[in-house]
Each structure stands twice: as C-alpha cells, then as structure tokens.
C-alpha cells in the first residue's frame, strides 16, 4: 500500500518524521516533489482566493498526489506538546482535502491538550491495522531520526556563524523557509549578494532557555529580553524563543548578526500577530530588519530590488 | 573631459543625468517611457549625443550606471558598468546634495519608498509591499479620467478650500469613491485635493509605517512635482517638506555619482551608435522543467547579447562574457 504525503505546510512542521514512520510500518511512501510552477498553479486554482499563499501551495501538492497513491496523509494538527495551538487553517485541512481530491484521505487528530501524542498515533495505526507495539517501534525510530537531523542542522548553524560574510537571519514558518520556490530562492539570492543566510529553524534552542534572560549573569544577557507574553500560538513561541536564543549565542560566541529578514505569506493571519513582536525585537537590538510578503503574483524583480537595497544599507 | 552617466528607467518615465568630476550636472532629462523602455534608452542617448555635439565636444563618457525597475535592461542595452537598485542610488544622491537629510519620500510610477538616513548613510528603508495604490500611475489615470492634465493636478488641489474625504486604502475603491463624490456634487478641486490627502495618508500608514520620520524630509520622484501632494504631506506630517532641484532625476544622479566613485578603468559603454541599432527583446517559456521560467532574450542587430529570467541559469549562462 502506498501513502502519499504532500511536501508542504504541515509536512515541514516535522519533516522526515512521517516518511520514516510510515516506512517503518511497512508502507510505501510517495512524497510530492519540490514546489514548482505547475503545483502552485494547480493549488491557486483549487483554493479559496482568500486563503493564505502557503495553504494554496499545500493544495497544489495534494492535487499532484491525486491518483498516484492509495491514501494521502493529512493530519489534523490542533495543539502541540506544549499545549499551544496550531494555525486555525491547519484544523480544517483534512476536511477540505476530502473535497478536493478523489484519493482517500488518511487523517488523525493531534490535540495534545486532550491526550498524549502516542495515543493519537496508536489510533492512526489502528486504521492501518497496526498494533500498539508496531506503532511504538516506528515512532521511536522516527523520533531518533528526527533528532539526528536536528543535530546535523545545529552543526550547520555553528559553521554558518563562523563565516566571515555578513550574516542575515531569515524568519518565517518552516514551510516558507524550506521551500525555495515559495521563498523565491531567497537563500541563493543572498549568497549571490555575498551574505550568509541563517534560517531561524536552524538555531538551536539555547540550554539556558528556562533562565529568564535578565537573570543571566554573563555578558550574554546584554540584549533586551522578549516581551514576556504567554503565547497562544505554537509558531509564535518557537520563533520568538529561537530569536532569543540567537541573541544569546551571538553574545556567547561573539558573532555579529548583520540583519534580519522576515518573510510572510500573503493573507497569513498568524503573521499579522507575530510580525509586530519580531520587528520590535530586532529594532530594539538595533539590527536592520526587512519585511517581505510573498504570494503567487510576487515578482522576483521587486524582491531582488529590496534585497539589494537591504544589503547596501548593511554594508555602510 | 571626464564624465559619468546615470540612466534611470522606471515604469512611467526615464531619466538621464551626466556629471563631471566635480559632481556638476552637465546634462539631464526626464521623459516618459511610453511603454517602450528600449526606445526610451535610445532616445535618451540620441539627445545626449546632440547635447555633446552642440555644447562640448570634449565630453567623453568614462562610466555608465543604470538604475530603476528596468535597470537590467538599461544596463544591457547601454553597456553599463554598474547596475544598482533605485533605493541605494536615491540615498546616494540625497546624502551628497542634502547632507543633513533624515528622511526621503520617493514616489514614482509604480513604486513608493521611504529611506531613513543617518549621517548620510541609509540605515532603513521600505517599499510598497504588494499594493501600488497612490503611485504616479494611479494619479495619471485619475487626471486623465477627470480631464485635467496631470501637470495641473497639483495646482487644482491647492485651490480647494474644503477637501473631500476620499477613501484611499485601495486605488480601485478610491476611484469608485471619487466617482461617487462627483455624482453627489462635490467640486472637482475638492475631490482632487481630497485624493492627494488620502494618498499621503495611505503612504504614511503603508510604506511609512513604523518609521521615525524626522526632518529634514526630502520629497522625490515624479509625484513630488505635484503641489497638491507636497501640501498633503506637509499637512499630514505637520513638517516642512523639501523638494530639491533635480527631484525627479535623483536616482539617475545617484547612479552617476556611484559610478564616478568606482571610475572604471575602461567603460563597457556601448557608445552612442547603439541608439541607431535594431534592439529587440523577446521572451519564451523554457520547457526544461515544471518551473516554466519566462526567459528574456535581448538582441542587438540580430546578435544575442543577453538572456535573463531563468531560475536555473541554463539560459543566462549562455551570455557572452
């Protein structure tokens, strides 16, 4: 049996976990390819015009998988381990997916306010005729794989901060950052302009994360700490924590961050909340900040102009 | 005599500025592109050649820089030594002519920008994001619709005593609101003045959002010619607005200054002959992968001189070095 996974949106919340999970249960996994123009066009045509660009891209991937596998996996992500809510647009994805494609949708609700994640995974396994032991094993292997990947990414991060080029941190949700079609090859463009791009998801959450920043006695706490708000949203907390961690590391390892670029998908409700915090944080720490919006009409030319100008302002 | 040329090709207009080694402007022009950027560049070069012939045959061009939204095209056609974005070129010109400037408001044909300067250096900027409401192209269209020459638009706005409130969040709605206000009997000058105020408000809440707008405030770009817009900004900001000489050609001037600083040993300028050549651009869709990039190909007298627009550089790599 073949299970299709759209390589978009929620996939990037835990990349590699799901492929490994299903493969270890003995299924064939079909991932949709990297986002391309065809996929985007399909998605834009099929989606509600008012929804965000990232959801449109997701539907393109979903449609690409239609008819190519027995099931398409679309989990319903509601809350995470820390009991923080995912974007409301994620809640409705499996329902909308059922209308959009003829291929059967495999889904399960992950709501960790109500129950442990493993419980939901077991229920998902039941649908696939797999017992608890098999599910546990597949979960363990996949989580281990996830961890290995995380370590690799962290290593990558420490290499990047040692480079001599101006370092620019890119802030967005993983599904925008990891998808080079969606972010208009931002990393490559920055490289061409002579800068090093650090993805916010590469930043390891500091070991000191539970120490309030102002209580740290070393020089690392010189930066202004985040406005202490209790985040309701999963994405906001993670991004803000990583930004804090980045400032901490820059103090500890003595590297200079030259600038920050936040990318937002057009019509993203979450970002209308998050942007205010992110921008404030960088401005308070006197780090140049650029905000870019992407959508299906975004011209690369306008993007390029802004990036070039941004780097010129840093160089001076 | 050593000189440096800046070419700024935008969506609505094109500008040429020629400076000498002392940053003196020898020649400048501001004209409409009229939907033909290549023709515009050629026309500009013809006029410059005429100027040189009539005024100073000693002039030799030692460097060319292009800027504006058509800077790549302009760079390829003219053989520019430097292709620079319009934010950097504007900042460069302002800091050289008005050293104490702190804020630059620039509104062109389709873009509007704000640049924040500290000690002659651009430290922050913003451009209109995905909406171009309130830029020159919109004012142009409205002037045409009202039967007012765009050059008279500002004067008309100044004659209003009670500007009408026009909703200007979006140019589509602004237009329908203007039509509605006409239909219920508002005077045309009040509508025009109201539109200017609305556009200034829209600019400040969109492009200027979160920026500390400190004086001296410099207003540039085609729209800065509009007296109504100047007054609207002065009112909205409660500050004096400075519109310097060369307000419409600052980008080209900045480009010329930048290339003068670099002063290339040997310019790549194609020479004035290029204005008489057959220059064509054509586009095709690459079928090499699902990205289906639109590739642009530029030819001078049938010979391919450049290609761009492909994501993977498969076509642009064929460029002759």
Kindly identify which residue of chain B lies nearest to residue A304, measuring between CA atoms.
Answer: B85
Give A140: exposed, middle or buried? Use CB within 10 Å, 0-12, 13-18, 19+: exposed
Q: Which residue has the higher pLDDT, B161 or A316?
A: B161
C-beta atoms of A316 and B86 within 8 A: no
Contact A40, A58 (CB under 8 A): no
Kindly identify which residue of chain B lies nearest to residue A276, measuring between CA atoms.
Answer: B210
Same domain for A223 and A308, yes or no, is yes
**Phi/psi class of residue A185: alpha, beta or left (left: φ > 0; alpha: ψ in -120 to 50)?**
left
Residues from chain A that touch B127, judged by Cβ atoms under 8 A, are 302, 305-306
Q: What is the pLDDT of residue A231?
A: 76
Place of tokens 């391919």: B304
Quote the pTM value.
0.82
C-beta atoms of B85 and A181 within 8 A: no
Tell me the nearest-neighbour CA distance from B275 into chain A, angstroms: 26
Helix (H, G, I), strand (E, B) or coil at A145: helix
Q: What is the pLDDT of residue A206?
A: 65
Taking the C-alpha atoms of residue B63 and residue B58, their distance in angstroms, rounded to an integer, is 15
C-beta atoms of B292 and A181 within 8 A: no
Q: For residue B216, is the peptide bond before it cis, meaning its omega torsion is within 30 degrees of 0? A: yes
Number of domains within chain A? 2
Residues from chain B that touch A306, judged by Cβ atoms under 8 A, are 87, 127
Question: How far, in Å, are A27, A129, A175, A307 from residue A135 at the CA level?
Answer: 13, 10, 27, 46
Q: What is the pLDDT of residue A216?
A: 44
C-beta atoms of A288 and B86 within 8 A: no
Q: What is the pLDDT of residue A214?
A: 45
C-beta atoms of A297 and B122 within 8 A: no
Domain boundaries, given as residue ranges, for chain B: 2-91+252-275, 99-243, 279-318
Taking the C-alpha atoms of residue B243 and residue B250, their distance in angstroms, rounded to an integer, is 11
Place of tokens 């935008």: B10
Q: What is the pLDDT of residue A97?
A: 95
**Residue A253 φ/ψ, nearest 5 degrees:** -95, 0
Q: Compare CB distances from B130 to A33, A266, A306 and report the shortest one's residue.
A: A266
Q: What is the pLDDT of residue A297?
A: 73
Judged against a pLDDT cut of 50, whether residue A316 lies above it is answered with no
Taking the C-alpha atoms of residue A197 and residue A178, their distance in angstroms, rounded to an integer, is 12
C-beta atoms of A37 and B291 within 8 A: yes
Contact A209, A301 (CB under 8 A): no
Indicate the residue among A83, A113, A145 that finishes a domain: A145
Indicate the residue among A80, A114, A145 that finishes a domain: A145
Residues from chain A that touch B86, judged by Cβ atoms under 8 A, are 305, 309
Average pLDDT over residues A97-103: 95
Q: Which fold has domain B2-91+252-275?
A: Nucleotidyltransferase; domain 5 (3.30.420)
Taking the C-alpha atoms of residue B60 and residue B80, their distance in angstroms, rounded to an integer, is 15
Q: Which fold has domain B99-243?
A: Nucleotidyltransferase; domain 5 (3.30.420)
Taking the C-alpha atoms of residue A170 and residue A200, their distance in angstroms, rounded to an integer, is 6
Q: Does A302 touch chain B (CB under 8 A)?
A: yes
Q: What is the pLDDT of residue B141?
A: 86
Contact B116, B123 (CB under 8 A): yes
Q: Which pLDDT band holds residue A248 (cuts at 50, 70, 90)?
A: confident
- CATH number at A301 reads 3.40.50
Taking the C-alpha atoms of residue B82 and residue B87, their distance in angstroms, rounded to an integer, is 14
The verdict on ipTM greater than 0.95 is no
Cβ under 8 Å to B: A residues 31-60: 33, 36-39
Q: What is the pLDDT of residue B321?
A: 46
- Range(s) of the domain holding residue A293: 162-315
Taking the C-alpha atoms of residue B189 and residue B208, their distance in angstroms, rounded to an integer, is 27
Taking the C-alpha atoms of residue B33 and residue B208, their distance in angstroms, rounded to an integer, is 28
Q: Compare CB distances from B121 to A181, A266, A316 and report the shortest one's residue.
A: A316
Same domain for A138 and A275, yes or no, is no
Please indicate, yes or no, if residue A244 is contained in any of the structural domains: yes
Same domain for A52 and A108, yes or no, is yes
Q: Give the orientation angle of helix A53-65 with respect to helix A37-46, to 10 degrees.
A: 100
Q: What is the pLDDT of residue B131?
A: 66
Q: What is the pLDDT of residue B133?
A: 65
Taking the C-alpha atoms of residue A218 and residue A206, their distance in angstroms, rounded to an integer, is 14
Q: What is the pLDDT of residue A130?
A: 95
Please indicate, yes or no, if residue A157 is contained in any of the structural domains: no
Interface test with A, best of B66, B85, B122, B261 (most A CBs within 10 A): B85
Buried b (16+ CB within 10 A) or exposed e, B90-118: bbbbbbebbeebbbbbbbbbbbbbbbbbe
Indicate the residue among A145, A179, A209 that finishes a domain: A145
Task: Tell me which H or E stretch contains A121.
Answer: helix A117-127
Same domain for A229 and A292, yes or no, is yes
Same domain for A80 and A170, yes or no, is no
C-beta atoms of A293 and B129 within 8 A: yes
Taking the C-alpha atoms of residue B125 and residue A59, their distance in angstroms, rounded to an integer, is 35
Same domain for A140 and A236, yes or no, is no
Mean pLDDT of chain A: 87
Task: Supply A213's token pair.
Answer: 């920043």
C-beta atoms of A305 and B86 within 8 A: yes
Q: What is the pLDDT of residue B40?
A: 94
Q: What is the pLDDT of residue B307?
A: 87
Same domain for A66 and A184, yes or no, is no
Which of B197, B284, B194 lies closest to B234, judged by CA? B197
Question: Does this chain's domain B2-91+252-275 share its CATH topology with B99-243?
Answer: yes
Contact B65, B93 (CB under 8 A): no
Taking the C-alpha atoms of residue A248 and residue A48, their distance in angstroms, rounded to an integer, is 42
**pLDDT of chain B, 321 residues: tens digit per residue:** 999 999 999 888 999 999 999 999 999 999 998 889 999 999 999 999 999 999 988 999 999 999 998 999 999 999 999 999 999 999 999 999 999 999 999 998 888 899 999 888 888 888 887 666 668 888 888 888 888 888 888 899 999 999 998 877 677 778 888 888 889 999 999 999 998 998 898 889 888 887 889 999 999 999 999 999 999 999 999 999 999 999 999 999 999 999 999 999 999 999 999 999 999 989 999 888 887 888 988 899 988 888 888 877 788 876 544
Taking the C-alpha atoms of residue B159 and residue B228, their distance in angstroms, rounded to an integer, is 9
| pLDDT, tens only, A180-236 | 888 888 998 999 999 999 999 889 886 554 444 444 444 444 455 544 567 788 888
Task: Supply A170's token pair.
Answer: 């890119």
C-beta atoms of B87 and A312 within 8 A: yes
Same domain for A308 and A194, yes or no, is yes
């Amino acid at each position: 049996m073949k299970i299709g996974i759209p390589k978009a949106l929620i996939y990037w919340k835990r990349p590699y976990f799901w492929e490994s999970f299903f493969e270890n249960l003995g299924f064939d996994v079909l991932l949709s390819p990297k986002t391309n123009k065809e996929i985007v066009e399909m998605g834009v045509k099929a989606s509600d015009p008012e929804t965000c660009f990232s959801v449109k891209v997701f539907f393109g991937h979903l449609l690409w998988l239609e008819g190519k596998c027995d099931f398409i996996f679309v989990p319903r992500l509601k809350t995470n381990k820390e009991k923080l809510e995912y974007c409301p647009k994620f809640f409705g994805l499996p329902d909308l997916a059922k209308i959009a494609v003829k291929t059967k949708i495999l889904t399960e609700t992950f709501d960790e306010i109500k129950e442990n994640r493993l419980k939901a995974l077991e229920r998902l396994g039941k649908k696939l005729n797999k017992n608890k032991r098999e599910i546990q094993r597949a979960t363990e292997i996949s989580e281990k794989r996830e961890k290995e990947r995380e370590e690799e990414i962290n290593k990558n991060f420490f290499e990047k901060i040692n480079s001599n080029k101006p370092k620019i941190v890119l802030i967005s949700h993983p599904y925008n950052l990891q998808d080079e079609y969606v972010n208009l090859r931002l990393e490559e463009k920055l490289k061409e302009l002579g800068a090093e791009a650090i993805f916010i998801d590469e930043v390891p959450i500091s070991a000191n994360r539970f120490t309030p920043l102002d209580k740290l006695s070393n020089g690392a706490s010189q930066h202004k700490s985040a406005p202490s708000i209790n985040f309701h949203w999963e994405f906001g907390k993670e991004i803000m924590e990583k930004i804090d961690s980045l400032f901490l590391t820059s103090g500890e390892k003595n590297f200079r961050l030259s600038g920050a670029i936040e990318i937002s998908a057009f019509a993203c409700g979450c970002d209308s909340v998050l942007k205010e915090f992110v921008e404030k944080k960088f401005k308070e720490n006197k780090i140049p900040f650029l905000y870019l919006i992407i959508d299906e009409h975004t011209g690369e030319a306008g993007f390029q102009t802004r990036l070039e100008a941004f780097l010129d302002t840093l160089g001076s | 005599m050593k000189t440096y040329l800046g070419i700024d090709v935008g969506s609505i207009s094109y500008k040429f500025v020629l400076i000498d080694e002392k940053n003196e402007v020898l020649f400048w022009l501001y004209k409409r592109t009229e939907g033909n950027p290549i023709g515009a560049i050629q026309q500009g070069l013809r006029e410059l050649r005429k100027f040189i012939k009539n005024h100073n045959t000693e002039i030799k061009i030692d460097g060319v820089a292009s800027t504006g939204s058509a800077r790549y095209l302009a760079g390829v056609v003219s053989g520019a030594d430097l292709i620079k974005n319009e934010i950097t070129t504007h900042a460069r010109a302002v800091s050289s002519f008005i050293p104490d400037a702190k804020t630059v408001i620039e509104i062109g044909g389709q873009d509007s920008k704000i640049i924040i300067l500290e000690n002659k250096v651009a430290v922050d900027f913003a451009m209109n994001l995905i909406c171009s409401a309130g830029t020159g192209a919109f004012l142009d269209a409205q002037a045409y619709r009202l039967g007012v020459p765009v050059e008279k638009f500002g004067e008309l706005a100044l004659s209003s005593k009670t500007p009408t409130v026009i909703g200007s969040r979006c140019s589509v709605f602004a237009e329908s609101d203007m039509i509605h206000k006409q239909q219920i009997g508002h005077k045309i000058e009040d509508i025009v003045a109201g539109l200017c105020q609305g556009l200034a408000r829209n600019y400040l809440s969109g492009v200027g959002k979160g920026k500390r707008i400190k004086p001296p405030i410099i207003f540039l770009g085609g729209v800065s010619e509009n007296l109504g817009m100047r007054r609207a900004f002065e009112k909205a900001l409660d500050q004096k607005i400075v519109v310097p000489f060369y307000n419409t050609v600052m980008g080209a001037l900045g480009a010329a200054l930048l290339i003068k600083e670099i002063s290339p040993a040997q310019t790549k300028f194609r020479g004035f002959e290029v204005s008489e050549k057959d220059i064509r651009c054509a586009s095709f869709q690459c079928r090499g992968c699902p990205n289906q990039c639109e590739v642009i190909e530029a030819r001078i007298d049938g010979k391919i001189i450049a290609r761009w627009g492909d994501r993977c550089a498969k076509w642009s790599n064929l460029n002759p070095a």
